[in-house]
Amino acid sequence: MKKPARAWQRMLSGRRLDLLDPTPVDIEVEDIAHGLAFVARWNGQTRGDWAYSVAEHSLLVEELFTRANPGVAARWRLAALLHDAPEYVIGDMISPVKAAIGPDYGALDERLTAAVHLRFGLPAALPVPIKKQIKAADKVSAWLEAVQIAGFTMAEADRFFGKPDAALVRGLAIRLRPPAEVRAEYVQRHADLLAACG
């Protein structure tokens, strides 16, 4: 008999996350923050001495989502912060790779997202309008990243990600920082948003 492949990962917290059947009790924000702080966006093809991490991207998406939706509930801001949380175990695959893998990637991402959401008091599946608003903030973040650190011209970024509202991105500059610093900010922002959720 062939031994079944291992489908779980041990986290630094000691939790053992089953990727095929993830449960909320095996998810800790410190594991998410640590993993995301060490996962590079753009496959690492960015300017600077530090990789631009998914944790840094997530903080920016939450900021953009909040700017675009003044007065939005803290729980939805938390959902924006956590929008890429599954990437702490599955990595940040660029869109062409996701397309090549097919629907299995999407199913894995959905299972992990549902477990993360339930762990932090969010619905397993977000309301469609909220999901669309977070996706819109994600696209604006991609535009900023493209023109500020990934070598795209503004015309290229406009074509691929759509031209953002100038007021929405005013004053936002991508900062490349050491992973430990980004990890700490992610954990703190998560705590602040959880507290604001009541």
More confident residue, 105 or 16: 16
DSSP labels for 35-53? Answer: HHHTSBGGGG--SSSS--B
Measured distance CA(49)–CA(2) in Å, rounded: 45
What is the per-residue pLDDT for 50? 93
pLDDT given at position 4: 67
Mean pLDDT of all residues in the chain?
A: 93
Residues 15, 24, 35, 110, CA torsion sign? positive
pLDDT more than 70, % of the chain? 98
CA 105, CA 168: separation in Å to the nearest integer? 31
54/52 Cα distance (integer angstroms) = 7
- pLDDT tens-digit series, residues 76-120: 999 999 999 999 998 887 777 777 777 778 888 999 999 999 999
Q: Average pLDDT of 11-32?
A: 93
pLDDT confidence of residue 5: 74
Alpha-carbon span 84 to 65, nearest angstrom: 14
Residues 6 or more apart from 148 whose CB is under 8 A from it? 173, 174
Model confidence, pTM: 0.93
pLDDT for 115 = 97
Q: What is the pLDDT of residue 101?
A: 78
The answer, yes or no, to whether residue 160 has pLDDT greater than 90, is yes
CATH code given to domain 25-196: 1.10.3210.10
Task: Note the helical H segments in the chain.
Answer: 29-37, 54-68, 74-81, 87-90, 95-101, 103-119, 128-148, 154-161, 166-169, 179-197
**3-state per-residue secondary structure call for 174-191:** CCCCCHHHHHHHHHHHHH
Query: What's the average model confidence in pLDDT over 4-18?
Result: 86
Per-residue confidence (pLDDT) for residue 96, from 0 to 100: 73
CA 198 to chain CA centroid, nearest Å: 23
Is residue 180 within 8 A of residue 38, CB to CB? The reply is no
Mean pLDDT for 38-55 is: 94
Quick one: average pLDDT of 143-169? 97
Domain locations in the chain? Answer: 25-196
- pLDDT, residue 62, reads 98
CB proximity list for 169: less than 8 A, separation 6 or greater = 64, 140, 143, 144
